[in-house]
Amino acid sequence: MESLGVIKGAWSQKEDAPLRKCVEKYGEGKRHLVPPIAGLNRCRKSCRLRWVNYLKPNIKRGEFALDEVDLVIRLHNLLGNRWSLIAGRLPGRTANDVKNYWHTHHFKKKVQFREEGRNKPQTHSKTKVLKPSALQVLQNLAKV
Protein backbone atom coordinates (compact mmCIF):
# COMPACT_ATOMS: atom_id res chain seq x y z
CA MET A 1 0.00 0.00 0.00
CA GLU A 2 2.85 2.40 0.70
CA SER A 3 3.95 2.15 -2.93
CA LEU A 4 0.57 3.65 -3.87
CA GLY A 5 1.19 6.63 -1.59
CA VAL A 6 -1.57 5.79 0.88
CA ILE A 7 -1.04 7.29 4.32
CA LYS A 8 -1.19 4.95 7.30
CA GLY A 9 -1.34 5.66 11.01
CA ALA A 10 -2.86 8.43 13.08
CA TRP A 11 -5.26 10.93 11.56
CA SER A 12 -4.67 14.66 11.82
CA GLN A 13 -7.21 17.45 12.20
CA LYS A 14 -6.25 18.61 8.71
CA GLU A 15 -7.53 15.27 7.38
CA ASP A 16 -10.66 15.23 9.54
CA ALA A 17 -12.03 18.50 8.16
CA PRO A 18 -12.21 17.45 4.47
CA LEU A 19 -13.67 14.07 5.45
CA ARG A 20 -16.43 15.79 7.47
CA LYS A 21 -17.20 18.21 4.63
CA CYS A 22 -17.32 15.40 2.07
CA VAL A 23 -19.71 13.26 4.12
CA GLU A 24 -21.91 16.27 4.96
CA LYS A 25 -22.13 17.24 1.29
CA TYR A 26 -22.49 13.82 -0.38
CA GLY A 27 -23.79 11.60 2.45
CA GLU A 28 -22.42 8.38 3.88
CA GLY A 29 -23.06 6.24 0.80
CA LYS A 30 -20.66 5.55 -2.09
CA ARG A 31 -17.68 5.12 0.19
CA HIS A 32 -15.37 4.36 -2.72
CA LEU A 33 -15.65 8.00 -3.80
CA VAL A 34 -14.88 9.58 -0.44
CA PRO A 35 -11.03 9.61 -0.49
CA PRO A 36 -10.66 11.12 -3.99
CA ILE A 37 -13.49 13.66 -3.53
CA ALA A 38 -12.20 14.73 -0.11
CA GLY A 39 -8.64 14.87 -1.44
CA LEU A 40 -7.38 12.40 1.14
CA ASN A 41 -4.51 10.01 0.64
CA ARG A 42 -6.25 7.32 2.72
CA CYS A 43 -7.89 4.04 1.78
CA ARG A 44 -11.70 3.71 1.76
CA LYS A 45 -11.76 1.51 4.83
CA SER A 46 -9.70 3.96 6.85
CA CYS A 47 -12.04 6.82 5.89
CA ARG A 48 -15.13 4.75 6.76
CA LEU A 49 -13.78 3.70 10.15
CA ARG A 50 -12.67 7.23 10.98
CA TRP A 51 -16.15 8.54 10.21
CA VAL A 52 -18.11 5.77 11.95
CA ASN A 53 -15.99 5.54 15.10
CA TYR A 54 -14.83 9.13 15.68
CA LEU A 55 -16.34 11.88 13.53
CA LYS A 56 -20.01 11.01 13.20
CA PRO A 57 -21.97 13.75 15.03
CA ASN A 58 -24.31 11.49 17.04
CA ILE A 59 -21.54 9.44 18.68
CA LYS A 60 -21.71 9.42 22.46
CA ARG A 61 -18.32 9.80 24.11
CA GLY A 62 -17.18 9.45 27.70
CA GLU A 63 -18.02 7.19 30.59
CA PHE A 64 -20.69 4.54 30.31
CA ALA A 65 -23.70 5.16 32.55
CA LEU A 66 -24.74 2.45 35.02
CA ASP A 67 -27.78 1.51 32.97
CA GLU A 68 -25.57 1.17 29.87
CA VAL A 69 -23.13 -1.06 31.76
CA ASP A 70 -25.98 -3.22 33.00
CA LEU A 71 -27.39 -3.56 29.49
CA VAL A 72 -23.94 -4.41 28.05
CA ILE A 73 -23.49 -7.15 30.66
CA ARG A 74 -26.95 -8.61 30.07
CA LEU A 75 -26.63 -8.52 26.29
CA HIS A 76 -23.12 -9.98 26.41
CA ASN A 77 -24.44 -12.85 28.50
CA LEU A 78 -27.17 -13.36 25.92
CA LEU A 79 -25.27 -12.74 22.67
CA GLY A 80 -21.59 -13.23 23.46
CA ASN A 81 -19.10 -11.07 21.56
CA ARG A 82 -21.57 -9.73 18.99
CA TRP A 83 -20.54 -6.13 19.55
CA SER A 84 -22.52 -4.59 16.70
CA LEU A 85 -25.77 -6.15 17.99
CA ILE A 86 -25.01 -4.94 21.51
CA ALA A 87 -24.10 -1.44 20.30
CA GLY A 88 -27.33 -1.30 18.32
CA ARG A 89 -29.22 -1.29 21.63
CA LEU A 90 -27.11 1.57 23.06
CA PRO A 91 -27.94 4.84 21.26
CA GLY A 92 -24.83 6.77 20.24
CA ARG A 93 -22.36 4.01 21.10
CA THR A 94 -20.31 2.31 18.41
CA ALA A 95 -19.49 -1.38 18.32
CA ASN A 96 -15.82 -0.48 18.69
CA ASP A 97 -16.54 1.64 21.77
CA VAL A 98 -18.59 -1.13 23.41
CA LYS A 99 -15.94 -3.75 22.61
CA ASN A 100 -13.15 -1.57 24.00
CA TYR A 101 -15.17 -0.86 27.15
CA TRP A 102 -15.79 -4.56 27.69
CA HIS A 103 -12.18 -5.56 27.24
CA THR A 104 -10.78 -2.78 29.44
CA HIS A 105 -13.25 -3.17 32.31
CA HIS A 106 -15.13 -6.45 32.50
CA PHE A 107 -12.71 -8.83 30.87
CA LYS A 108 -9.98 -7.73 33.30
CA LYS A 109 -12.34 -8.31 36.22
CA LYS A 110 -12.91 -11.89 35.05
CA VAL A 111 -9.15 -12.52 34.92
CA GLN A 112 -8.63 -10.90 38.33
CA PHE A 113 -11.27 -13.11 39.97
CA ARG A 114 -9.76 -16.26 38.46
CA GLU A 115 -6.30 -15.30 39.72
CA GLU A 116 -7.71 -14.85 43.23
CA GLY A 117 -9.01 -18.42 43.17
CA ARG A 118 -12.63 -17.69 42.45
CA ASN A 119 -14.38 -19.35 39.55
CA LYS A 120 -16.34 -16.44 38.13
CA PRO A 121 -17.03 -12.83 39.03
CA GLN A 122 -20.35 -12.19 40.74
CA THR A 123 -21.75 -10.24 37.78
CA HIS A 124 -21.33 -13.27 35.53
CA SER A 125 -22.31 -16.11 37.83
CA LYS A 126 -24.48 -18.88 36.42
CA THR A 127 -24.45 -17.46 32.92
CA LYS A 128 -24.21 -19.42 29.77
CA VAL A 129 -23.34 -17.80 26.47
CA LEU A 130 -25.91 -18.73 23.88
CA LYS A 131 -25.37 -18.83 20.14
CA PRO A 132 -28.95 -18.23 19.04
CA SER A 133 -30.19 -18.07 15.48
CA ALA A 134 -30.92 -14.70 13.90
CA LEU A 135 -34.64 -15.12 14.56
CA GLN A 136 -34.03 -15.86 18.24
CA VAL A 137 -31.75 -12.81 18.49
CA LEU A 138 -34.44 -10.54 17.10
CA GLN A 139 -37.08 -12.01 19.40
CA ASN A 140 -34.87 -11.62 22.46
CA LEU A 141 -33.92 -8.05 21.55
CA ALA A 142 -37.59 -7.18 21.22
CA LYS A 143 -38.08 -8.29 24.83
CA VAL A 144 -35.22 -6.12 26.17
Give this prediction's pTM.
Answer: 0.60
**For residue 84, which amino acid is it?**
S
Q: Give domain limits for the chain.
A: 2-55, 66-143
Neighbours of 110 (CB within 10 A): 14
C-alpha span between 1 and 140 (Å, rounded)? 43
Measured CA to CA, the distance from residue 104 to residue 128 in angstroms comes to 21
CATH number of 66-143, picked from 1.10.10, 1.10.287, 3.30.1540, 1.10.3470:
1.10.10
For the chain of 144 residues, list the mean pLDDT of each consecutive stretch of 10. 72 90 84 86 88 87 89 90 93 92 76 54 57 73 76
For the domain covering 2-55, report its CATH number.
1.10.10.60
Taking the CA atoms of residue 12, residue 33, residue 50 and residue 38 in that order, the dihedral angle to the nearest 10 degrees is 20
- Where would I find the beta strands (DSSP E) of the chain? none
